[in-house]
Each structure stands twice: as C-alpha cells, then as structure tokens.
Amino acid sequence: MGFCIYLFLRKNPGQAEKYAGMLKTGQNLYTGHPLMTLRTKLIDNLMSKHKLTVRETAAFYIKAWNAFLKGKDVSVFRWNNTEKLPEVK
C-alpha cells in the first residue's frame, strides 16, 4: 500500500491524501464506490486461504485510484497476473 500511495502522491497529492483517508476510515463510502470495493477485496483477502500476490494487490489499488479520480463506481475489480500493471493516472 505504501508504494502505491507514494505513486499517487506524486501524481496528485490532494487526491492521494483524500484516497488514503477514505480507504483507512471507510467513511462516506457506499456500495459501488471504488474504495469500498477495494476495502471489501482486502478484507476478504485477510480471511482467504488463497492470498492475493503483492502484484495483484498493487493492481487493485491502482484500479481503485483510477476509478476514484474519474468518480466512477466499480462493484468488482478483475485483474490477471499475466496482464501488465494498470497505469497510474
């Protein structure tokens, strides 16, 4: 998470701080909000026998960031380890 937040801070410091705060607290999130979707995925991962890889986790952080910046709702994140990491917008 730290590395992704570092990348986001370099792109857009104000939004990165808002992103990190909302992700941490979960306040003002609703079903479909990209940060709620990410929080759910991360919590599910804690309880799963099949843990996400670091690369998968980074991809989901970036997908949530990109959707967050666009103001786009996302109910599911999909990414395959054979794909390139998403570009940080």
Residue 12 has pLDDT above 90, yes or no: yes
Annotate 1-69 with three-state secondary structure.
Answer: CHHHHHHHHHHCHHHHHHHHHHHHHCCCCCCCCHHHHHHHHHHHHHHCCCCCCHHHHHHHHHHHHHHHH
- Banded model confidence at residue 46, pLDDT cuts 50, 70, 90: very high
The domain segmentation of the chain, as residue ranges, is 2-70
Predicted TM-score (pTM) of the model is: 0.92
pLDDT of residue 81: 83
34-63 mean pLDDT: 95
